[in-house]
Structure 1
Amino acid sequence: MNKTLLLILCDFLLLNLLALSRWDRTEPPTAPAVAARSASAQDDVVAALRLSLEEEKANREKLARDLATTRDESRSRAAVLDQARTRTTELSERLQKTEQEAARLAQQSQVETERSRAALEAAKAETESLRQAKEKLRTEADALRSQLTVAEVQAKSAEEKMKLTTATLRQAEEEKKKLIEQNQSLSQGVTQLAEKSGQMTQEIREYRPVAPNALYAGYLDRRATVRLMAERPSAQGQRVRRTESRAILLTDGTRTAALVPLSQTPFDLGDAEGSWDSLTGTLTLPPPSNFPQPLPNLESLSGSDPRLLLAPVPLALVEKHPELAYRIASDPFRFPKALLISPSGKGYGECSFKLDPSFPGYLEMDSRFLNRLQGEYAPEAGDIVLSLNGEFLGVMINDHFCALVPSLTPGPGLPLDSKGASRSAGETLATLKKRASALDSPLR
């Protein structure tokens, strides 16, 4: 309902009430005419009120239609408009029931209208907010769509780059394989060249003579010490023999042993078939290994003179210093001369030698008396014979012949046992004596 019209109706009703009301004491009706006029006036007022109510009803219906239209425009305002329409309907019913509550209903209608307006404004604001949110979402969607497009382009570019990288990697792998094959081929070539170079260097060293002074100095630094003790019964009681000899270390590439001539041990070929109460021995390597090691046994040489013995050396003792051992000469006849060194280290000198087919495994040394008169070194039994390239040849068994040592193949052994008698040593000495007896007289 229009606020102005409502105020006018209220004023009109109030004036009519004031005009028709009597404030003095009520008097009894005097005439029917007055009553008829009063009834006519009341009917006019009621008709006016009905007309106002009809107009109010028409206005309410129009307002309801407006509210319905507004509700169609925005779903968010529907609830608020329904509430306003409900309030308006309730107000209409109250106006129909009682006229006394018209003013209050008008005020309530005004309040509800204000609330509806506020709700409408809020709905408009919410609609605007939703519109802005929708615009924002649309903007974000456009931005995301643009980003998606850019991402697709980047993905395609990355895929192309990946394909290119894959092709490059494959090409690089192929080139790498080729380079590896070339490197392997070069490595094999370098290895072969190094082996050939090492072989050539070794051959050069083998064919190049070393200064006798250097060989002699090396011999003094590479000597080991072998100590042996033998106890055997005799008519006078226990007889103890102790020997200490300077031995040379030999290697054939597979094993290492110290060479000890039989003459430098407590044994003799005349002790064949004998027995001993105790046989012990120790081996002391050259510095820096100065700690004596017990010897479990001595061995004979199967391919050399029976008067030469071997003291086995464990591999662990020489693996840190393999340069201490002399290699057995691979070509004993490479040089026409050899270097002879006294086992005690008191003298050394070069000496010519020759081969005698009658004595295989031996070298005949030049020991003419004239050489001794000229001050040259005279060979003696027990001398160490080295090739001029530093390899080991053999040992002088007398003044004229050198027994070659072609290998370290062991023969019958002489066990060293400190706990009791052993006849194995006597049996081995008997075998060696038999072999020595079979030698020609110049070799004895």
Structure 2
Amino acid sequence: MYNKLKYTFAVCLLLTSVIANAQVTIQSPYSKFGVGNIKGSLLPQYRAMGGISTAVYRPGFFNNINMQNPASYAGITATTLDIGLTGSRTELKNSSQTENSFNASLSHVAFAFPLSTKSALSFGILPYSQLGYDFKNTVKIGTTAANTKTVDYKYTGEGGLTKAYLGYGVQFGDHFRVGANVEYLFGNLSENRSTEYVNEPGAINSRMQSKNSIGGVGFSYGAQYDIRLDNKTSLVFGYSGSASSKLNSEKSQVVTQYFNDAEGNEDEAFDTLLLVQNAPTNLKLPLVHNFGISLQRDNKWLIGADYRMGKWSGLTIDNVNQGLQDTYGVSVGGQYTPDVTAINGYFKRVDYRLGFSYDKSYIQMSNQDVKQTAITLGLGLPLSTLSRGSFYKMNLTAELGKRGTVSNGLLQEKYINIHLGFTLNDSSWFRRFKFD
């Protein structure tokens, strides 16, 4: 057991370092708002069901880590390790142009193990938000034809926040469970804004560069209550939420002036108008609520729905309200397994998942809410058992969605996200066998 722990912790530390230091390469102009695109605390097996998770306890024979509702940890009966990666193809489109991009990265490392028959501990690391954009807005300024000039306003950003968590869930009696996560959020949000005069070599251009280095503690929590309808069927009600948290940060900012040569190439900055380094400030995250219900037949099928809401109008960065909107969203989905005990017929033991999600995001442009919808589907593919008491599964998920619209001069994102996760269940780690 010691060798297994040592090997697993080494792998987790390596992957944790990779996730924490990976450069975000997404291209999403909508990530300019707030703290970037919020990723959500969902593993591929839950994303495949539209994101339902609040009332999901144990969707099947296999143990899965549901950090969205830490009350579910109480159902973990074997040491569980989950590692995954994700890839995304995005199409950006307005009324006249279309642009495509692709990025891929490690997505999560999560670990859980039972402490008793009714409690378990979990820890891991995963992205909280992603920031990545590069676009410009070209305008004409001037009062007459003689003094009219063309100006490019250029905007770039990169970075994001990462979440490391430690959670505990426990069951009281036969039906009620509670749990909580202590979360450490950290990362950098780097953004640049430039003003450049087009075809004006002697014009003075300017750039403002800002970087916010964030690190602080937050909390999430949850509860579940199930009602047994018969020996194999149960109805589960769930709630989870994240507390409003104030995170410490250090802000650096520099404003410079520079020229462009006759070919449009940028020269070195010749003047610095403002320089602020590591000024202490803070970032305040909002209160978030999730409500869920699910109906499941043990080891056979599961259907459920989630409703979520967030007070994102209260988000402040550097004590400045970001002008965002409150959010809400719904998810519906489910899972079906033909025969989990089938000896012949591999595809009878496969989990088939399907879902749908709808969200009103915290972005409003031209008095129009930016909304996001997605259809999700996935498979839970059992892998060969390599040792006594060990079970392996590969979870493959596809999300097909869109955000925004091209009407009223706005921007639409269409995306295909592919999530791949590998899950290990091992019941022998904390057992001592008399005979081998």
Q: Fold-level match, TM-score > 0.5?
A: no
> Which one scores higher on RCO, CA 8 angstroms, separation ≥ 6?
2
Q: Which one has the bigger helix percentage? A: 1
TM range, smaller chain = under 0.3
Q: TM-score, normalised by structure 1?
A: 0.20
Q: Which one has the bigger strand percentage? A: 2
Q: TM-score, normalised by structure 2?
A: 0.20
